[in-house]
């Protein structure tokens, strides 16, 4: 009977030992972590591809790679001679059309009306003379004193004189009535179209100058004077100074130790002993495999979460891609 009891205690002791080992492992993995949390990452910042909003050859490039620029600095300039000629031509057309519109609004001058009336009188007198001549020649033709051709010529001159009277009377009536509203509207519409054309040309001229939108550093100079610029061809690559952050990665075990808005301390190898203030600005909601640039050996094969720590850099010491260490004081 003693041997029977011992054979049942051995498996029980083994089970207890295994259970204790499992509990220990789980406790080690999921035990509450205290003390500072350290993450490793790289400095990142926003970059802007700068290009002209027009297609023309580049006349000048004013800055080189690595240059610091301020907001509003002129970086490059397109050739503007064709645009300037187009603007001058359009301005001349506008002046001419404005004169036409003013004349239409003012209507006919008294001198023009009097001149039109005098033209009607002259045409009427000429037509009367032609009529008298025609009647006289018609009587001579009846007596056989002239040929039929001479009578036909006289009739043609009389008809032409009558038609001229009609034309001059119509011109006189137009001079008295003044321009039609439709003519004025058409002239004003043409003037408005010319002014819009001038605005477009002046806008294109303004786009011939490439200006820095924000303060930053020129990272790449992608074109040269003489190259043909276009809206889809970047001229410079500008790194902005407005926002800088450290892109780091945290494993799932430490994810609960940080939160958005949490303060952090950032250090870089090139400035030993100096620290920069930072704040957690973003925590990814999706896990991913650790990117290759992360140097921490423990995380290379793990699923991690991206964390962005916004950094205050008043002295502009951070550079794109610079390794950085982020420390969170978890107490």
Locate 47 and state its tokens.
């970059």
* Distance, CA of 101 to chain centre: 35
The pLDDT, as a whole number, for residue 86 is 93
CB burial of residue 220 (10 Å; 0-12, 13-18, 19+): middle
DSSP letter, residue 307 = E
Averaged over successive runs of 10 residues, the pLDDT of the chain (331 residues) comes to: 46 66 56 72 90 92 92 94 93 94 77 78 87 84 82 87 87 72 88 94 92 91 94 93 88 88 90 87 82 54 84 86 87 59
The pLDDT, as a whole number, for residue 314 is 84
The pLDDT, as a whole number, for residue 178 is 65
Neighbours of 42 (CB within 10 A): 17
Let me know how many helices (H) and strands (E) the chain has, helices first: 6, 13
Q: What is the Cα–Cα distance from 292 to 287, expressed in whole angstroms?
A: 15
The pLDDT, as a whole number, for residue 292 is 52
The pLDDT, as a whole number, for residue 92 is 95
CA count, 13 A, side-chain hemisphere, 18: 6
* Distance, CA of 303 to chain centre: 40
The pLDDT, as a whole number, for residue 288 is 79
Q: What is the Cα–Cα distance from 29 to 26, expressed in whole angstroms?
A: 5
The pLDDT, as a whole number, for residue 61 is 94
């Amino acid at each position: 009977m003693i041997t029977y009891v011992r054979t049942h205690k051995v498996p029980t002791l083994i089970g207890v030992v295994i259970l204790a080992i499992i509990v220990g492992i789980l406790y080690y993995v999921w035990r509450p972590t205290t003390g500072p949390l350290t993450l490793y990452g790289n400095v990142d910042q926003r970059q802007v591809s700068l290009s002209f909003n027009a297609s023309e050859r580049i006349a000048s490039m004013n800055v080189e790679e690595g240059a610091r620029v301020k907001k509003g600095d002129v970086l490059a300039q397109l050739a503007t001679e064709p645009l300037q000629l187009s603007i001058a031509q359009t301005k001349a057309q506008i002046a001419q059309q404005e004169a036409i519109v003013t004349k239409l609004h003012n209507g006919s001058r008294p001198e023009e009306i009097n001149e039109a009336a005098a033209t009607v009188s002259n045409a009427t007198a000429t037509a009367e003379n032609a009529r008298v001549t025609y009647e006289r020649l018609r009587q001579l033709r009846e007596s056989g004193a002239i040929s039929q051709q001479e009578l036909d010529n006289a009739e043609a001159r009389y008809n032409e004189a009558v038609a001229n009277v009609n034309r001059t009377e119509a011109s006189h009536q137009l001079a008295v009535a003044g321009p039609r509203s439709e003519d004025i509207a058409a002239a004003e519409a043409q003037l408005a179209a010319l002014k819009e054309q001038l605005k477009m040309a002046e806008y294109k001229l303004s786009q011939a100058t490439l200006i820095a939108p924000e303060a930053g550093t020129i990272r790449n100079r992608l074109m040269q004077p003489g190259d043909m610029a276009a809206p889809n061809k970047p001229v410079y690559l500008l790194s902005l100074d407005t926002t800088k952050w450290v892109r780091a990665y945290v494993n799932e075990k430490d994810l609960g130790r940080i939160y958005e808005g949490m303060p952090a301390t950032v250090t870089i190898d090139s400035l030993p002993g100096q620290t920069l203030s930072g704040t957690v600005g973003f925590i990814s909601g999706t896990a991913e495999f650790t990117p290759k640039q992360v140097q921490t050996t423990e995380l290379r094969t793990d699923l991690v979460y991206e964390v962005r720590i916004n950094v205050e850099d008043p002295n502009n010491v951070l550079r794109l891609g610079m390794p950085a260490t982020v420390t969170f004081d978890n107490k």
